[in-house]
Structure 1
């Protein structure tokens, strides 16, 4: 089991149906920028639930990424279904009251700001009207003085005097306008008593396996994939799923948002694993056709090392 300090300090990977999800946006940014772990965004975006090009949280991690993060002590696994506990009626009532109180506070602040802005606008408008009347009065007095200087009698002097602004028609009493406000209601329940991640958090693969939360890797091939992934990661590469290009991983020299992958990696679980000539030819042709080199990654359990063989189709195209 993981301690509360581990949960607060490390990235939380919430496991459900044998898949690890990351829901915190800051954790997603940390994984990508600091730890070279990209994962795949699978959630829909607000107001764009029908599109499938740009996706949002949660981030789903490859099982090899999960194993790497736990072995490097960068993350903890949380049994998400078990962490959600039935809530009592009292706690639900209190939670709703807190949300309503938060909304009322935000509305009160918004109303005060709107009233202050309205008073400022009204004061500015009244000052502008006063200045305009003063200008018109000065202009009328100057015109009257000029006329008298030209020898006109007071009866012949006709100067328009400023007319007071007509009051605007009042809004009919039967028409009412309801002000609208944007209120932010927190949707997270991480601090509520019906969600208790600390009681169902695991900081090691052994403890998570014993609890039945995580069982990867469970075969020699899965073990080889984890070791290959770790070795490529330690060399500074970014990795993604390679199934669309006929391999196990795509290997990028930098962030996939800035670089194309240079290699398609296929994992060979041991030096004794069979590899037919047809596979070599197929992978070589496919890799070259997609402007990549195919990388055969052989894991040697006895030597605890990875051997790499790069294949390109010479003279292709």
Structure 2
């Protein structure tokens, strides 16, 4: 275990899964280091849907090896970083959380003073329409000779000013949290926290991933397209992938003609080229070969 620099991004490891909980860290990984990961958390306001997700950010093993190997991130063992909290600590933490929430939702006496002119105009229109409907209902009731029973005015949510309560996404502020940090892969492996890569195939994947990253590409999971990764020329939010990459661990790995045909047809059908990647451990070099159908028509 080693003390890491505060500038390094913490990667929380739980059950051999690497997670990033801090939104600023997730943004830095994407914009500066071309590491996108996969969001797997639900959003508080729309927790029932699974199209747009939130934190934590799940990293691929190759992304973790690249970041830690480059000195960008440290590994934190979540299972040993939290000691058992005491009752007074829990009470104090709960009081601070309630106080923070109250401070964030505290509203001025005149809530409308903080609203924009457009919001005030829309609110006035809603109130005018509501008054018109009530007037029309009262007139109809009077004409029919029906007894109108007054009921309590309902709470109209549209008329309430919105507010947002921010809660911390990490355990940094907890008094019983003492992060167990590992700033090298060897130290994390010795502690049994992170053992990837442990085989020749895993080392080959890491070498190919690093080579693609050094060429400026972004990588994402490629299992849906029959490969190891999707390779993007820029941020996946702006670009479609150009390649589907498959790793062949050894220079002597077998590659059948039918595999070449299948991968070529698959890549062409999905408007990509299939990238065959091979790692030579002896020379520590990576070779790339692209396959795609051509000459139609």
Q: Could you tell me the TM-score, scaled by structure 2's length? A: 0.79
State the secondary structure of the residue aligned to 2:165.
coil
Whole-angstrom distance in 2 between the partners of 1:10 and 1:185: 24
1:191 aligns with 2:173: yes
Superimposed CA distance per residue, residues 208-246 of structure 1 (whole angstroms, 9 cap, x where no aligned partner)? 000100010111111000000000000001111111111
- Shift in CA distance, 102/41, structure 1 to aligned 2, threshold 3 Å: closer
Which residue of the partner structure matches residue 91 of structure 1?
89
Checking the alignment, whether the CA contact within 8 Å between 1:14 and 1:77 is kept in structure 2 is yes
State the secondary structure of the residue aligned to 2:89.
helix
Q: 1:232-311 to 2 correspondence within 5 Å?
A: 232-311=212-291
Q: 1:1-317 to 2 correspondence within 5 Å?
A: 1-3=1-3, 6=5, 8-103=6-101, 105=103, 110=107, 113-114=108-109, 184=165, 186-188=167-169, 189-197=171-179, 200-315=180-295
How much has 1:300 moved relative to structure 2? 0.2
How much has 1:183 moved relative to structure 2? 7.5
How much has 1:313 moved relative to structure 2? 1.9
Runs of 4+ in 1 over 6 A off after TM superposition: 115-118
- Shift in CA distance, 192/293, structure 1 to aligned 2, threshold 3 Å: same
Aligned residues: 252
- Shift in CA distance, 67/46, structure 1 to aligned 2, threshold 3 Å: same
State the secondary structure of the residue aligned to 1:215.
coil
- Shift in CA distance, 310/2, structure 1 to aligned 2, threshold 3 Å: same
CA RMSD of aligned residues (A): 2.4
Q: Could you tell me the TM-score, scaled by structure 1's length? A: 0.74
Checking the alignment, whether the CA contact within 8 Å between 1:99 and 1:185 is kept in structure 2 is no
